[in-house]
Amino acid sequence: MCGIVGYVGPQPALDVVVNGLARLEYRGYDSAGVAVQGGGALHTEKRAGKLANLRQALENHPVEGDGAGIGHTRWATHGAPNDVNAHPHVDNDHRLAVVHNGIIENFAALREELEEAGCKFVSETDTEVAAHLLSTELKRRGDRDLAAAMRAVCRRLEGAFTLVATSVEDPGLVVAARRNSPLVVGRGEGENFLASDVAAFIAHTREAVELGQDQVVELRADSVAVTDYDGAPVDVNEYHVDWDASAAEKDGYEYFMLKEIVEQPRAVADTLLGRVTADGRLALDEMRLTPQQLRTVEKIVIIACGTSYHAGLIAKYAIEHWCRIPCEVEVASEFRYRDPILDQQTLVIAISQSGESMDTLMAVRYAREQRARVLAICNVNGSTIPRESDGVLYTHAGPEVGVAATKTFLTQLAACYLVGLYLAQVRRMKFDDEIDAVIGQLATMPDQVERVLETVEPVRELARSLADARTVLFLGRHVGYPVALEGALKLKELAYMHAEAFAAGELKHGPIALIEEGLPVVVVVPSPKGRGVLHDKIVSNIQEVRARGARTIVIAEEGDESVRPYSDTLIEIPAVPTLLQPIVSTIPMQVFACELALAKGNDVDQPRNLAKSVTVE
C-alpha cells in the first residue's frame, strides 16, 4: 500500500517529507522518492528499495529545498519496482512533479493521446500520464492555476487514485485530489500537511481534515482550500486525532489485526480494481500466460499452505463449476514428495501471501522442472514465488502486519474467483452475459463485507463468553467446509486452544463421538436457495449435535428461518451467491477468534511460535 506525504511551511520540506515517509514504512513499499521546491527549480530524488536507499542518495547528492515538498513510498502496480518507475514523476520541462496512489484505469488511451501530442515518457507507470496531463492542461489554460488544472485532469481519469502535485510556477503550493483512495490533511500553525495516513504528520499536529470523495485540496502554509471536481467549495470534516505518534501506525486500533479486519472491504475492492476492460472483458494484465496457453490446460493443481490452502479449497469449487477442468488442491509441503503427475498441460496455481513461503516455493520449482505452467497468486510485489512463476495475479491487499491472515485471505478468494472467471472466458466455457453477471456480483462484495462488519458486536460478546472453553468444533458443507477449516485454524493460531473442523457429512462417521454437554459447535450453513439439498442435510446435523447437548453457533444467511429453532446463537450474514459466500461467512470466524484470544490476554498480532512467512521447510 503506497504512502504519500505533502508539506508546505517554514520547516525544511525535505526533512518533514522524508521523516513522514519513514512513519509510513509499515504500509509496505518497494521504492521511495521526493520532490521539493527550491530556488525557482524543482529538485527530485527517488530510489528503488527501502527508504535507506533514498536517504543515502540524498546524502550523496544534497537537495536544496525550501517550504514545499511531496514524497511517496510505492507499492508497484504498473511497471517494475525500479528507480525509473519510482515516484515522483515529472513533466518534460521538469517544472511539475506528481505522486500517486491507486490505479488509473484508462491510462493506456491517455498515454497514446499524449505521445501523439509530443510528450516523451520515460517510465512504465500510469502515474506519469497524470504529470503530462497536468502540464498540458496548464499550458492550454495559459495560467498558473494548478488546482484548476488538477480538477480538469481528474474529470478525465477513470479508476481509484490519490494525486499530489507541486509546480515551481506556483511556489509554496501543493495540490492534491482523491477518488476512492485515502488522503487526509493535517492543519498546523503556519504550516499544513497531507498524507495517506495521519501517521505521517502526527508528530507535528493532531488537527486533521478528512477529504471526501472527488475533492481537490490546495495546500499553502496559511490556508487549506477544498473544492469538488467542478471547482465548487465544499464543507470538510475536521477532527482531532486523539492518539500519539506511536499508536498512529495502527490507526488508533490496539492491534494491527483489528485494523486489518476492518480494512477488508477496501482490500477486496482493491483486488478487483482495474480487472475489467471498457467492453466488460476480464483483463488480468499481470498474468503473462496467453489465452492460447490457458486453452491447452487439461488439469489444475493448486498448491498452498495454511490459510492460503483454505483459499485454494474454495477455488476448487469455483474453478470446476465455471470451467469444467479437473482441479486438485495440495498442501505445498507434501506436494513434491509424493511424485505428482504433471506435464505441459497442467496449470499449477501457487497461492502465497508473502511470496516467500519455502514449502510453496519448492513446490513451484518442482512443478517448473516437470514443465507445468505456474501461476502465482500473491500479495507482495517482486517476491520470489511470482518471480519464478510463469505469471502472477497480485492481490493488492497492502501490508498485513498481523501474523494471522485476515484481509489477505479474503483478497486471495477474490483473486481465485477472477482466475476462475478468466479461464472460463478464454476457454469459452461461459457466455459473456454469464461472466458479466458474476463480475457484477463480485463487485458488490466489498459492500457486503462492510455490512457484516457493522453487525459483529454480538460475535464479540459470544467469544468473550467462551474464553474458558477447552475446545470448539466447526462444521460445514460445500464451500462452507473450507470456511470451517479456516475458523478452526484461527482459534488455534490466536487462542491457543484445540479446534477442529469437519465436513458435516462426516459427522456420523466418527466426529459425533466428541459431542458432549455444552461443547461449542460452529456450523456454516449453505444457502437454502443455492444449495437446498445440502442446506436440509446440515440442518439435520445441527439437530443431531444439539440433541446431544452441544451449544450450537449457526452462521446462516439472512431470512433463513429454518435454522433458528436449532440455534443457540444465530449469526446472520447477507444472502449472496453460494460460491461467493465464503467472503462474508469468514468474517464472523475472524472476529470470534480475535476476540476470544484477546479475552485470554493473548497478543493477536504476534501469536506465540508463529511467523508471518515460513521461509524454511
Its sign, for the CA torsion 409, 410, 414, 417, is: positive
Other Cβ atoms closer than 10 A to 501: 25
Report helix angle 445-453 to 581-599, nearest 10: 30
Compute the distance between CA of residue 483 and CA of residue 178 in angstroms, rounded to an integer. 36
Compute the distance between CA of residue 212 and CA of residue 406 in angstroms, rounded to an integer. 27
Quick one: how far is CA 190 from the chain centroid? 36
Compute the distance between CA of residue 349 and CA of residue 326 in angstroms, rounded to an integer. 13
Contact 353, 399 (CB under 8 A): no
- DSSP for 389-407 reads SSEEEE-------SSS-SH
CA distances from 333 to 311, 351, 363, 374 (A): 16, 13, 7, 17
* SS3 annotation, 183-210: CEEEECCCCEEEECCHHHCCCCCCEEEE
Contact 421, 294 (CB under 8 A): no
Q: Take residue 191 and report the three cell numbers written for it.
A: 504550516
Phi and psi of 550, rounded to 5°?
A: -65, 150
Q: Take residue 234 and report the three cell numbers written for it.
A: 465544499
Q: 3-state DSSP: the chain helix, strand, coil percent, rounded to 5?
A: 40, 25, 35
Q: Take residue 303 and report the three cell numbers written for it.
A: 498448491
Strands (E), 332-414: 346-352, 373-378, 391-394
393-432 core/surface letters (b: 16 or more CB in 10 A; e: else):
bbbbbbbbbbbbbbbbbbbbbbbbbbbbbbbbbbbebbee
**What are the residues facing 37 on neighbouring strands?**
42
Q: Which amino acid is at 207?
A: E
Residue of 197, 617, 609 lying closest to 403 (CA atoms): 609
Active-site residues, by number, are 2, 612
Compute the distance between CA of residue 62 and CA of residue 51 in angstroms, rounded to an integer. 16
Other Cβ atoms closer than 10 A to 571: 25
Residue of 508, 492, 462, 485 lying closest to 311 (CA atoms): 485
Compute the distance between CA of residue 321 and CA of residue 71 in angstroms, rounded to an integer. 46
